[in-house]
Amino acid sequence: MKPAHLIPCPFYIGGEWAQPRLAGTPVYNPSTGDVISECPLGGSAEVNAAVDAAEAAFPAWRDTPAIERARYLFRYRHLVEENFDRLCASVSLEHGKTLVESRGSLYRGIENIEYACGAPTLLFGDTLENMARNVDCETTLQPLGVCVGITPFNFPAMVPLWMFPLAIACGNTFVLKPSEKVPLTAVLLVELLAQSGLPKGVVNVVHGGSECVDALLVHPRVRAVSFVGSSPVAKHIYDTATRHGKRVQANGGAKNHIIVMPDADLPRSVEALASAAFGCAGERCMAGSTAIAVGKAGDAMLPQLVDAARSVKIGRTDTPMSQPDMGPLITGAHRDRVRGLVDSGEREGARIACDGRDARVADAPNGFYLGATVIDHVSEAMTIAREEVFGPVLNVMRMEDLDQAIEAANRSAYGNGASIFTSSGAAARTFKHRVKAGMVGINVGVPATMAMFPFTGWDASFYGDLHIQGREAVQFYTQQKTVTTRWFGGSSDDVWRK
Ligand code: NAD
């Protein structure tokens, strides 16, 4: 059923909101399957206008002192807090996260604004007096110019907040291209930015799909591209944008392994595993999607895992009245893909220990639901073991010892996160030293980093050199200048005399 009024999804270019008459793509409420908006699909005309606006705003913004730029971000942080419930409701409506999950993700986003508020100290350079005789040297960090952010559907508020607050704190201007599946929260975030009094053109929003993205990647005035999404697209972004001379950080997909040793605290490990696998309906790049049970840990934990999966209550997330443990998946097509991957596991010889494929929600028969699913005896060659599932599905693989488990995890093409549950310091140390993943957890199910640390994916989970968040992101959004200075006629003969 199509509601009478669709939620507007305007572009924001040079401080003006406009919804051009363009072909669009439906935005769903995944809890009910209803269309709630239409996301216009922009192309090079809209991209050119947004980049022009960002470029025009750059000189004045670059010359605004860092402490003044930070003041806008302090005001922005306050506005986001004031509108916290409205933003969370928007995330839950268009994405399907439970309100608890939406709140958690928005806090992570706010922490990124808070980090960016530190611009005056984050942008300190280095100085060496007398680098050579009577010659001093200093480094300064200067902004790049127009930066671009291209974001995925799974964190409608947090991922955009990973990018534009720090980019503009560093003195850049910005063009955001949110996911066409969840563009509405991004619009709200930028509305609040406009309310903070940010000068026009410093942040702009264009909507669209691949045509819009490709126009951004080749635009001669774009200096840097931050991307978060699936690995094939991340690779395309990296290849195309670097070929066109841009700096790129491109986060990709993942397949994160969690090793459970026989000496692990079992109840706590199971609780963490269930939360890592089924939290956000498994639509997280840091989801713990594969448990590797070592030795007797497998038989010990499986019944508890199945109980935990069966107890996950699914339901609508679009109303505060009904708050389930887990919401729907993003679209019907994605739900069907995840179902198909579970089917493939069964076909290829795994055992479905808890089957969520036929889950239904009585008051929302057209919502995009799938119940929590546990698949036991998964082997590495199976499709479900190799492909990113991005749904509430936990694979269980069984291994004889820690070495085998680490080697299996290391054969994954991805390298985002990996965790171990154990009470042995020696096992934990071996694991953290040898595992090929950029974010490692020890008795932690989702070792996603917070704003002050970089989000250090490896291998097919990241294309680029400088990661999103933390000091690496400051480096990404700035270029260093070294200034070597010598003044003639100065004397330092009496410098130590009082
Ligand atoms: P996606 O790759 O389909 O889309 C991401 C963005 O790229 C969107 O804005 C989309 O419009 C654009 N896009 C899609 N196809 C394109 C193409 N062919 N050419 C140019 N642009 C294109 O990803 P998604 O489905 O929105 O998000 C889920 C994926 O994101 C998962 O793989 C997940 O693991 C990943 N993700 C990774 C991280 C991380 O930090 N590593 C964080 C969140 C999500």
Within this chain, do residues 231 and 277 fall inside the same structural domain, yes or no?
A: no
Within this chain, do residues 222 and 344 fall inside the same structural domain, yes or no?
A: no
CB distance 368 to ligand 1 below 6 Å: no
Residue having the nearest C-alpha atom to atom 23 of ligand 1: 229
- Give the number of other CB atoms < 10 A from CB of residue 107: 14
Structural domain contains residue 260: yes
The question of whether 285 is a catalytic residue gets the answer yes
Beta pairing partners, 233: none
Q: Best mutation site among 27, 28, 95, 179 for ligand 1, i.e. most ligand atoms within 8 A of its Cβ? A: 179
Query: What are residue 292's phi and psi, to 5 degrees?
Result: -110, 110
Distance, CA of 86 to CA of 467 (rounded, Å): 30
Beta pairing partners, 462: 251
The ligand 1 atom nearest the CA atom of 177:
9
Q: Best mutation site among 228, 256, 283, 453 for ligand 1, i.e. most ligand atoms within 8 A of its Cβ? A: 228
Distance 79 CA to ligand 1 centre (A): 28
Structural domain contains residue 4: no
Within this chain, do residues 264 and 400 fall inside the same structural domain, yes or no?
A: yes
Distance, CA of 49 to CA of 253 (rounded, Å): 31
Within this chain, do residues 215 and 120 fall inside the same structural domain, yes or no?
A: yes
The ligand 1 atom nearest the CA atom of 150:
9
Within this chain, do residues 57 and 145 fall inside the same structural domain, yes or no?
A: yes
Q: Which of 88, 280, 285, 354 is catalytic?
A: 285
Distance 229 CA to ligand 1 centre (A): 2
Q: What is the pLDDT of residue 496?
A: 67
Distance, CA of 193 to CA of 74 (rounded, Å): 11
Within this chain, do residues 96 and 73 fall inside the same structural domain, yes or no?
A: yes
C-alpha pair distances (Å), 139 with each of 61, 128, 485: 21, 9, 11
Instruction: For residue 260, give the CATH number of its domain.
Output: 3.40.309.10
Q: What is the pLDDT of residue 283?
A: 98
Within this chain, do residues 148 and 277 fall inside the same structural domain, yes or no?
A: no
- Give the number of other CB atoms < 10 A from CB of residue 324: 16
Domain count, the chain: 2
Residue having the nearest C-alpha atom to atom 9 of ligand 1: 179
The ligand 1 atom nearest the CA atom of 231:
32
Structural domain for 223, as ranges: 11-252+461-483
Within this chain, do residues 40 and 159 fall inside the same structural domain, yes or no?
A: yes
Instruction: For residue 154, give the CATH number of its domain.
Output: 3.40.605.10
CB distance 455 to ligand 1 below 6 Å: yes
Question: Which string of DSSP letters, residue by residue, matches 30-47?
Answer: TTTTEEEEEEE---HHHH
Within this chain, do residues 124 and 230 fall inside the same structural domain, yes or no?
A: yes
Distance 10 CA to ligand 1 centre (A): 21
CB distance 289 to ligand 1 below 6 Å: no
Distance, CA of 100 to CA of 106 (rounded, Å): 10
Q: Best mutation site among 28, 91, 154 for ligand 1, i.e. most ligand atoms within 8 A of its Cβ? A: 154
The ligand 1 atom nearest the CA atom of 230:
32
Structural domain contains residue 28: yes
Distance, CA of 217 to CA of 213 (rounded, Å): 6
Distance 461 CA to ligand 1 centre (A): 11
Structural domain contains residue 88: yes
Within this chain, do residues 247 and 262 fall inside the same structural domain, yes or no?
A: no
Q: What is the pLDDT of residue 494?
A: 64
Distance 65 CA to ligand 1 centre (A): 35
Distance 230 CA to ligand 1 centre (A): 4
* DSSP 8-state class, residue 465: S
Structural domain contains residue 497: no
Average pLDDT per block of 10 residues along the chain, 498 residues long? 76 95 94 97 97 98 98 98 98 97 98 98 97 96 98 98 98 98 98 98 98 98 98 98 98 98 98 98 98 98 98 94 91 98 98 97 97 98 97 98 98 97 98 98 97 98 98 98 92 66
Nearest residue to 344 via CA among 331, 357, 360? 357
The ligand 1 atom nearest the CA atom of 209:
11
Residue having the nearest C-alpha atom to atom 43 of ligand 1: 285
Distance, CA of 136 to CA of 200 (rounded, Å): 39
Q: What is the pLDDT of residue 493?
A: 64
